[in-house]
Chain A
Amino acid sequence: MSLLAQGVLAAENPVADFGNDNGWVVFGKALFIFVFLVLLTLLTIWGERRVVARMQSRPGPNRVGPFGLIQGLADGVKLALKEDVIPKAVDKLVFVLAPIISAITCFVAFSVIPFGPAARIPFTDIVTPLQLTDLPVAVLFVLAVAAVGVYGIVLAGWSSGSTYPLLGGLRSSAQVISYEIAMGLALISVFLYAGSMSTSSIVAAQEHGVVREIFGLDLTMPAWFAVQLPVAFVIYVIAMVGETNRAPFDLPEAEGELVGGFHTEYSSLKFALFFLAEYINMITVSAIATTLFLGGWRAPWPLSAIGGGMLNEGWWPMLWFIGKLLGFIFFFIWLRGTLPRLRYDQFMRFGWKVLIPVALVWIVAVACWRAANSATIAADGTTRIVLIAVGIALLFAIFGALITGIDRADRRDAARHETPPDEVDPFAGGFPVPPLPGQRLIRSNGIGNGRDDDARRPALAAAGEADEEVHGG
C-alpha cells in the first residue's frame, strides 16, 4: 500500500498577479463588488421569500414587477422613507455607529474572494485577476473582519438601552464568537492541505485531483477540499449558519422571545443596514465556503474536461463561482424552510461540546495523516505501521472517553433530577406552568402558592383586598 506524495505544495504567496492593475481597475473592481453584493442581496431576499413560499404551498410576493422581482427594491424604498427614530434612552454615538460597523465589515470581507482567474477586461488590453486583491493571509483577514463585525451586533444591543435588544445582542455575540472558533478550526485543515492562506492559492491547490493507489487501484481523488476534507467541510457549513444568525440558529432574533433581537429599536435606514449586513454576511460565508471547499471558480468535474480546460479560462469561471454561491444560498433558504429553531442551551452545547472537539480531533488527524505521508516516514514501513497502530489506539481511547463521559453525565443528570411528584398544581408559583409528562393536575386556584397569609384566606376575601393579583383558575 503505497500512498503517493500529496502533490507539490502551492506557494504561500498568492498566485494571482495584480501587477497590471492601475487605479481605475482597482476602483472598477471595488465598484463591481459593491454593486454585485447589493444586487445579489435584493435577489436573495426575493428568492428567499419565493422559495420559502413555495415550500409552504403559497405564492409569495408576485405583484411588483415580473415574478415579484422588484419587491426587494420596493421594500428598500419603503424602509428608506420611514421616520428614523432614535429613542431617548440610547447612547447616541454608539447607536449610530453600530449599523455602520455591521455594514462596512460585511463588504470588506469580499475584497479577497476570487471570482475568476486572470481575464482581459473587454475593449482594453488590461489582463487582471477577477479579484480585488489577495494577501498571503487572506483567509485570516476574512476571519479578522468577521470578528470586528461582531461589534455591530454587541454595540447595537447595548446602546439601545432596552432589555430585548440587550438580550438579543448578548445571545448574538455569544453565538458568533462560539461558532467562529469552530469555523476557524475547520479552516486549518484547508491551510494544511493548500499550504497557504491566500485565497487564489487555495483555489489553485484544488486544480488537480490527487492520484492515490488504494488496494492496487489508481484512484483520482477529486480535488475539491470538500471531498478531501469532508469533516472540515461539514463543520464549516454548520458553523457558517451559526455565525450568520440564520435559521435554525436564529436565536438572537427569536421573535417569540425577543421581539426583534438586537435591532428591535432600529428603524428606517439603520435597520436596512442591519438587514443588508445579514444577507451580505450570508453571501460572504457562502463565497468563502465556495472558495475554500468547492474549488472556487473552477468548473465542476465533467465541465472542466471540455475543450482542454476552456471553461476554466476567461470570464467563464465567474459563472461557476456564482452558480456555487447560489447553491449555498439556496441551502440557507432550504434550511430556514425546513428546520425549527434550536433551544439556546442545545445550541451552545452543540457548538462547544460537539463541533469544537470534533474539529480539534480532525486537525490532529489531518496533521498526522500528512506527516505519515511525508517522504521520510513513508519510506520506512515499520514506522508507518507503528504510527497507524498508535493512531487507531488513540481513536479508540477518544471514543471510549467520549462514551464513558456521556454515561457519567447521564447518570449525574438522573441523580440530580429526582422523579417529579405525581400531581402538580399548575398555579402553585403564582403563574401557570404546564405539567410534566405523566403528572396529574390539581387545581387550587392560587391558594397554596407558598405565601401563608394568602393561603389561609378564602379566595373571595383575598380578591377583595388590596392585593389584586389574579391567579386565574
Chain B
Amino acid sequence: MTALDVVFALFASTAAAGALLAVTSRHVVHAALWLVLALGSLAGVYLVLAAEVVALVQVLVYVGAVVVLVLFALMLTRAPIGVRADLDAAPGRRRVAAVAGLATSALIGGTLLAAIGSTAEVPAGDGTASALGSATFTGWVLPFELLSVLLLAALVAAIAISRGRDADTPGLDDLAPGGTADRADPGAGSAAPAPAAAPAPATPAAPSRAVGPDGTS
C-alpha cells in the first residue's frame, strides 16, 4: 500500500458513505449535503488518479452547480428545518431500489475488473487539459455531441412542460424568478422603451368601485 492507495481508499469510502447517508437521511437538506460530501470525495478520487481537470470540473459542476440548484429548489419548496416523515418510499420499492443499486455496482465493478484487472497503472499526463481536450474532440466526439443533444432535448422538454399545453397559459417567462414578460420595464436588454413602464406590479386587480350611495365618504 502506498500513500496514494491509502488516500484513494479514504476518498472512496467517504464517497460511498456519503452516498449511503444521502439516500437514508430523513432530513432533505442534510441529504443534499451528504450528496455534496459524496460528490466532493469523488473529485478527490479523480485527483488521486491524476485527473486534475476532471476533478476540478467535478467540483465546479456537481458540487458548485447541481447540488446548489437542488438546495435552491429545496429552499423554495421545503424550507422548514426538521425531519420529514414523507420522504421514504414504500418498503417494497426500497428493496427493489437497493437490489437495483447493488446490481448496477456489481455490473460496473465486474466490467472494470474484467477489463483492467485488479491493478492498473495510472498513466501520467493523461489528466491534463490538452490531453482531455484532444481525446474529447477526436475519438469521443460522437458521444460528446450526442450528450449535448441529450441535454438540449432535456432543456426543450423542461420548457415545454413548464409552458403548459396552450399558448395562453403563463409560460416559463412568467414563472421564473426575475421573469420578464410580466414586468413592463424595458431594462438593460431591450433598446426601445416600452410604453408606461410600471414602477411596481401595483395595478389593482380588483375592479375599483366608486363609492356607492350606501357607503360613507
Contact = CB atoms under 8 A, between A and B. Distances in A.
B64 A147 contact: yes
Interface string B152-195: 00000000000000000000000001111111111111111011
Contacts of B45: none
A150 B212 contact: no
Interface stretch (B16-24, B74-82, B107-115): B74-82
B59 interface: yes
B129 A137 contact: yes
A147 B71 contact: no
Contact of B210 (A12, A148, A403, A444): A444
A410 B192 contact: yes
Interface string A318-353: 000000000000000000000000011111111011
Interface of B: 29, 33, 36, 52-53, 56-57, 59-60, 63-65, 68-69, 71-72, 74-76, 79-81, 128-130, 177-192, 194-196, 198-200, 202-212, 214-217
A281 to B, nearest CB: 15
Contacts of A350: 187-189
A260 B36 CA distance: 27
A407 B192 contact: yes
Contacts of B198: 417, 436
Interface stretch (A20-28, A57-65, A239-247, A419-427): A419-427
A409 interface: yes
A343 B185 contact: yes
Interface in A354-413: 354, 403, 406-407, 409-410, 412-413
Contacts of B194: 410, 413-414
Interface stretch (A272-280, A282-290, A448-456): A448-456
Interface stretch (A41-49, A167-175, A299-307): A167-175
A406 B72 contact: no
Nearest to A136: B128
B203 A420 contact: yes
B52 A354 contact: no
A419 B130 CA distance: 58
Given A137-B56, A436-B199, 10 more contacts: A12-B128, A12-B129, A137-B129, A148-B64, A349-B180, A353-B180, A433-B200, A436-B196, A458-B214, A458-B216
A12 B130 contact: yes
A148 B36 CA distance: 10
Contacts of B212: 447-448, 455-456
A185 interface: no
Nearest to B217: A445
B184 A413 contact: yes
28 contacts: A136-B128, A137-B56, A140-B53, A144-B60, A146-B64, A150-B64, A154-B75, A159-B81, A161-B81, A169-B75, A197-B129, A345-B179, A345-B180, A346-B185, A348-B178, A350-B187, A409-B181, A413-B194, A414-B195, A420-B203, A423-B208, A424-B203, A424-B208, A433-B200, A436-B198, A437-B196, A458-B215, A459-B216
Given A141-B56, A406-B191, A425 B204 contact: yes
A89 B128 CA distance: 47
A429 B204 contact: yes
Which of B53, B65, B208 has the most C-beta atoms of chain A within 10 angstroms of its own C-beta? B208
A38 interface: no
Nearest to B182: A416
B188 A349 contact: yes
A169 B196 CA distance: 33
A271 interface: no
B191 A413 contact: no
Given A154-B68, A173-B68, A349-B178, A448 B214 contact: no
Nearest to A357: B189
Contact of A410 (B36, B57, B188, B190): B190
B130 A349 contact: no
A461 B43 CA distance: 70
Given A136-B129, A150-B68, A417 B184 contact: yes
Contacts of A34: none
A144 B64 contact: yes
A147 B180 CA distance: 27
Contact of A346 (B60, B128, B187): B187
A370 B207 CA distance: 61
Given A147-B60, A444-B215, A349 B128 contact: no
Given A174-B177, A177-B68, A447-B212, A137 B53 contact: yes
Contacts of A414: 194-195
A157 interface: yes
Contact of A148 (B63, B183, B186): B63
A94 B31 CA distance: 13
A216 interface: no
A467 B163 CA distance: 41
Interface in A138-162: 140-141, 143-144, 146-148, 150-151, 154-155, 157-159, 161
Interface in A428-473: 428-429, 433-434, 436-438, 442-445, 447-450, 455-456, 458-460
Interface in A90-142: 90-91, 94, 135-137, 140-141
Given A417-B198, A419-B196, A420-B203, A455 B181 contact: no
A264 B188 CA distance: 31
A182 interface: no
A137 B52 contact: yes
Contacts of B57: 140
A411 B203 CA distance: 20
Contact of A166 (B53, B75, B189, B191): B75
A12 to B, nearest CB: 6
A170 B187 CA distance: 22
B52 A170 contact: no
A148 B68 CA distance: 9
Contacts of B76: 170
B40 to A, nearest CB: 8
A147 B65 contact: yes
Contacts of B203: 420, 424, 436
B61 to A, nearest CB: 8
Contacts of B207: 450
Given A417-B196, A450-B206, A136 B187 contact: no
